[in-house]
Amino acid sequence: MKKSRLNIFLLMGIVFSLILASGVSAQAAFPEKEITLIIQAAPGGVSDAVGRTMAASAEKILGVPIVPTNITGAAGAIAMGELKESPPDGYTIGYVPVELAMVKALGYADISPEDFDLIMRVNIVPAALTVRADAPYQTFEEFVEYAKEHPGEILVGTSGTGSIWHIAGLALEEVIGAKFTYVPFDGAAPSVAALMGGHIHAVTCSPTEVLSGVEGGDLKILAVLGEKRSPLFPEVPTAQELGFDINVMAWGGFALPKGTPEEVYDTIASAFWEALETETFQKIMEERGIEVSPLDGPAFREFAMQQFEMYMDLIPRALEQQ
Amino acid sequence: MEALLVAFQQVLQPQVLLYLILGTVLGLAVGTLPGLTATMAVAILTPLTFWLPPESGLGVLIGVWNASIFAGGISAVLLNIPGTPASIASTFDGHPLVKKDQAGLALGINVLYSAIGGLFGILIFLIAAFPLARFALSFGPAEYFALGLFGLSMMIAVSGTSVVKGLIAGFIGLALSLVGLDPMLATPRFNLGSTQLITGLSFIPLMIGIFGLGEVFYQMVTTLGQPQEQTKPQGERKGFSSLGRMLVNAKEFVQTLPATIIGSVTGVVIGAIPGSGADIASLIGWEFSRRTSKRKEEYGKGSIEGLAATCTANNSCLGGALTTMMALGIPGDAVTAVLIGSFMMYGVQPGPAMFRDKSDFVFMVIGLMILANLFFLATGFIFSRFAGGFILLPKPIMWSTILILSLVGSFSLNNRLFDVWVAFLGGILGFLFRRYQFPLGPIILALILGPIVERNFRTALIISHGNPAIFLTRPISLIFILGTALALASPLFLRKKRGQKE
Amino acid sequence: MADFLFGVFTLALGMVIYWGANRLPGGVLTFALNPGFFPKIVAVGLMVLGAILAYQGWKNRQTYGEGKLSKELRLRLGALLGLVFLYLILWGNGSFLLNTLIFLFLSHIIMKYRVLPSLLSSTVITVLTWILFTQAFRVRLF
């Protein structure tokens, strides 16, 4: 029996140090108990960073703990489905990514922006065309030229068929009138690795994901495929500046289940805005290379619906083409 | 050498050491408990460490990372339940050693060789970061496919008595891994129309079920079925000392030397290859050392060489993963993918530029890695001894604890009840497999490597525009394919030889 | 006999997978094979292996684990599986602490442990698990 007591003692020690590390918070008025924040991606990525940072900043304003909960699977459809089904009392908030506008078109789940009361858009992640530094094309125009002359030869790595960066490639293909061969990888990082290893010719993912490779001199960004230049690479032009009408970006924001009472919505929305404007939030976003581009609820709603309609049209065509 | 001194100057401060110890202690808990993984712990701690100075914050994270990979081996050895996926291969030889009444030695090997592997990985990082990272990049889809295929050929080696049953277990694993999106075209496959299954069965809950729950069900049935007197094997009746000696002796050290070297090198290389982590490293390390060992037949039955190879491989993998992450900014495995985020929070962008502009940061990380290894080396023996006490608890307490940790653990991973059901079904499968003597190794191999093989086979064919010669014209790929062919052919030769003898 | 049944089951599983793979839409992608290709290989493998095992099992009817399980053991195993099943069905209803306490207490009893120590041990395990997951890892249980 002595041994088991020792064991329990030891376990207690571990547990208490864990508690110390996690910290405890206090209580206040409207939100009278802790709030759950559903994040649709695994810990470690951009969605998780935005979600957790917002939770940490907003819980100080709301006065109740906001507990981030990562629910992964089906490109976020599981998490968004869970949010949709949650009681609309303000105690369950969700991070919603660009996939909010995509999962229906992909056939994963029946979810659209209309199923939610959108709180705000927080960040955008523009797509960018990146190639190897030793490629035969050094500018976007040269790339377009080359792609037209060599249909099907350029291997473009994507983060998976039907993913946002695959859509970016397809949109680019359409707008410059060329034909690529797509190589789907399991996420953006492996596709960048394959590009650096010389196994493929280009990737259409975010500037953040290729930052190290570009700084190290292995890779070169030819153009940003979003609406404005990336703060990380202010010298790289957008495709729009070069006369190609293309605008593909990932984005993320927060949402509540449909039918949340107005005063609850207002309390949360104003707290999140306040949190967004804090110095710590801005600083963490900047360090992580996340581009903050906020929209308020109604504007976000309009934006999301417009994206939804675009993908409902684009994705079925894209999947068919494959 | 001078650089190392600078590194130690930065990290040898009382505050940093304190945080590193805290991290190590957390890592021991996370690693030992099934259901909590290193990736998850590092990810959850990352935002909490933002408020600390970099050396302290990273001290916690690196402490957790190193200690948890090592500590996963403790439960693998003692309970036949891998604490983290990285220690799956440690169950092959670790648990049979416990059954042979050498629990202490098995635990001791886990501590010592994990540290040896870990330190070797860092050494390689120090002397050859860039060449190694460049080599890792040469791994394209063809190479991944060949590596995966080579790994799958291990099914035969881990099949035990019946190769047919081993292969069936393996193919059932492959069948389970089919559920989910087609890796190329994102067509849903075998999801039975369910959104929950659209991205497939989660690997870790399945693993927890097969190993954790299955083991509990099986042990209950076998232990309660025996007459009371025999329920306790010799070792378990004695007190703490019953674990036996923990340190390897000189003879054993010499005997395991080749396995140690093979394990370390394999681990660091596989760690460096983006997208393959400690689980694959320890499996392949085990197979490499088995192929070259003079005592092949002991592998899987409690070979100290086999255990040494897996323990060194999964810890040297960390150095390799860190190499690719820091030298190129590409994550070498899941944990380094999270660590990139924490580096960036401290205003450091991993990549070649970091070695140029922030070399002190690089050396600080190296210093922390070395210290983390030394810390768990120092505390690991004591901790293992205490953990060893767990199996001396009355059986029902032990089983119930594993039961609830497995269930809550599989939930906490993705916060999905569905995953707990997956674990439960895995548990029933695990029970049936154990009872009817189907080996568990192949099913796990198939679950880890099956998707890699399919994805990369097809990706390679896209890249080669449909020409299958890509698998044979690339040297690394060719070597692995020849290795696979050898593995498949050797049982035939062996049988012939045996036949001649008879 | 068990081997024979497992063989037949594996054979059947292979057939089901083959049938399922055949119904998958064929890819239009030129080089990368279609989604059914790999599943078909797995299915064929299962069918062949299943047939071999069934044959072997038919030839030498082996029994495992020192014969059949006694009636008592089958009852205990069934009770434990049923208990886990019930615990998962009730997951999210009631309180985690209470559900888990009852679950663990009953599991101790099924595993043939004395009542009083069972109560003690299940209380300790429940509380520690709860603290570990909700407080330290901030997992939202119920």
Contact between C82 and C90 (Cβ < 8 Å): no
Q: Is residue B82 part of a domain?
A: no
At residue B306, the pLDDT reads 94
Distance from CA of C116 to the nearest CA of A (A): 15
Mean pLDDT score, B398-411: 91
A212 and chain B in contact, CB less than 8 A: yes
Residue pLDDT, tens place only, B451-496: 889 989 989 998 988 888 999 999 999 999 998 988 888 766 665 5
Instruction: Extract the tokens encoding A225.
Output: 């495929």
At residue B230, the pLDDT reads 44
Q: Give the bridge partners for A67, in sequence order.
A: A36
Mean pLDDT score, B382-402: 87
User: Subunits touching A (CB < 8 Å, at least 3 pairs)?
Assistant: B, C
Separation CA C50–CA C11 (nearest Å): 5
Contact B138 A197 (CB under 8 A): yes
Separation CA A77–CA B416 (nearest Å): 13
Residue pLDDT, tens place only, A236-264: 999 999 999 898 888 989 999 988 888 88
Quote the domain boundaries for residue C124: 71-136
Question: Quick check: B398 pLDDT over 80?
Answer: yes
Residue carrying the six token digits 């190392």: B4
Q: How many domains does chain B have?
A: 1
Question: Do C126 and C77 share a domain, yes or no?
Answer: yes
Question: Do C54 and C78 share a domain, yes or no?
Answer: no
Question: Quick check: A28 pLDDT over 50?
Answer: no
Distance from CA of B421 to the nearest CA of A (A): 15
For domain A33-125+249-318, say whether CATH 2.40.10.10 is its number.
no
* Sign, CA torsion B96/B97/B99/B104: negative
At residue A7, the pLDDT reads 52
For the question of whether the overall pTM of this predicted structure is more than 0.90, the answer is no
Question: Do C55 and C75 share a domain, yes or no?
Answer: no
Q: In this prediction, what percent of chain B has a pLDDT beyond 90?
A: 41
Separation CA A48–CA B162 (nearest Å): 46
C99 and chain B in contact, CB less than 8 A: no
| Minimum-distance CB partner of A322 among C28, C124, C136 | C28
Least confident of A308-317, B93-102, B221-230, B400-409: B221-230
∠ CA C63-C65-C70, rounded to 5°: 95
Residue pLDDT, tens place only, B167-194: 999 999 999 999 988 888 777 888 887 7
Nearest CA in chain C to A92: C140
Contact A200 B44 (CB under 8 A): no
Question: Quick check: A81 pLDDT over 50?
Answer: yes
Mean pLDDT score, B23-41: 86
Distance from CA of B81 to the nearest CA of A (A): 19
| Selection from A71-75, B418-422, C137-141 with the highest mean pLDDT | B418-422
Contact B403 C31 (CB under 8 A): no
Question: Quick check: A276 pLDDT over 50?
Answer: yes
∠ CA B331-B68-B149, rounded to 5°: 55
| Minimum-distance CB partner of C137 among B395, B399, B412 | B412
**Domain termination site, one of C16, C31, C59:** C59
Contact B459 A72 (CB under 8 A): no
Closest CA to B16 of B58, B67, B76: B58
At residue C27, the pLDDT reads 57
User: Subunits touching C (CB < 8 Å, at least 3 pairs)?
Assistant: A, B
Q: How many domains does chain C have?
A: 2
Closest CA to A31 of A67, A85, A71, A80: A67
Question: Do C7 and C30 share a domain, yes or no?
Answer: yes
Q: Is residue C65 part of a domain?
A: no
At residue B396, the pLDDT reads 92
Nearest CA in chain A to B348: A287
Local confidence band at A146 (pLDDT 50, 70, 90 cut-offs):
very high
Residues of chain B with C-beta less than 8 angstroms from the C-beta of C113: 394, 396-397
Q: Is residue C41 part of a domain?
A: yes
Higher-confidence residue of C42 and A78: namely C42
Local confidence band at A1 (pLDDT 50, 70, 90 cut-offs):
very low
The domain A128-247 is placed in CATH, from the list 3.30.930.10, 3.40.50.300, 3.40.50.12140, 3.40.190.10, at 3.40.190.10
Contact between B158 and B292 (Cβ < 8 Å): no
| Minimum-distance CB partner of A11 among C128, C135, C139 | C128
Residue carrying the six token digits 């940061």: B361
Closest CA to B209 of B445, B402, B401, B27: B402
Residues of chain B with C-beta less than 8 angstroms from the C-beta of C65: 221-222, 435
| Selection from A127-131, B384-388, B439-443 with the highest mean pLDDT | A127-131
Residue pLDDT, tens place only, B286-335: 999 998 888 888 888 889 999 999 999 999 999 999 998 898 888 888 88
Q: Count, in order, helices (H) and strands (E) of chain B.
A: 23, 2
At residue A70, the pLDDT reads 79
Q: Is residue B384 part of a domain?
A: no
At residue B238, the pLDDT reads 43
Interface of B with C in 167-196 (CB under 8 A): 167-168, 171-172, 174-175, 178, 182, 184-185, 187, 189-190
Nearest CA in chain C to B45: C137
Q: Give the bridge partners for A39, in sequence order.
A: A70
B404 and chain A in contact, CB less than 8 A: no
How high is the mean pLDDT of chain B? 86
At residue A223, the pLDDT reads 94
Burial of B237 from C-beta contacts in 10 A (0-12 / 13-18 / 19+): exposed
B428 and chain C in contact, CB less than 8 A: yes
Chains A and C form CB pairs within 8 A to the count of 32
Interface of A with B in 16-45 (CB under 8 A): 17-18, 21-23, 42-45
Distance from CA of C112 to the nearest CA of A (A): 18
Q: Is residue B293 part of a domain?
A: yes
- Secondary structure class of A152 (helix, strand, coil): coil
Which residue ranges in chain C fall short of pLDDT 50? none
At residue A29, the pLDDT reads 56
| Minimum-distance CB partner of B44 among C69, C76, C137 | C137
Chains B and C form CB pairs within 8 A to the count of 167
| Selection from A141-145, A318-322, B45-49, B247-251 with the highest mean pLDDT | A141-145
Instruction: Extract the tokens encoding A155.
Output: 């291997």
Q: Is residue C142 part of a domain?
A: no
Nearest CA in chain A to C124: A8
Tell me if domain A33-125+249-318 and domain A128-247 are identical in fold: yes
At residue A5, the pLDDT reads 52
Task: Tell me the DSSP string of A161-185.
Answer: TTSHHHHHHHHHHHHHT---EEEE-
**ipTM > 0.90?**
yes
C51 and chain B in contact, CB less than 8 A: no
Q: What is the DSSP letter of A228?
A: S
Separation CA B500–CA B403 (nearest Å): 50
Instruction: Extract the tokens encoding B54.
Output: 């970099």
How high is the mean pLDDT of chain A? 83
| Minimum-distance CB partner of A216 among B48, B328, B414 | B328
Question: Quick check: B234 pLDDT over 70?
Answer: no
Local confidence band at A20 (pLDDT 50, 70, 90 cut-offs):
very low
Interface of C with A in 63-92 (CB under 8 A): none
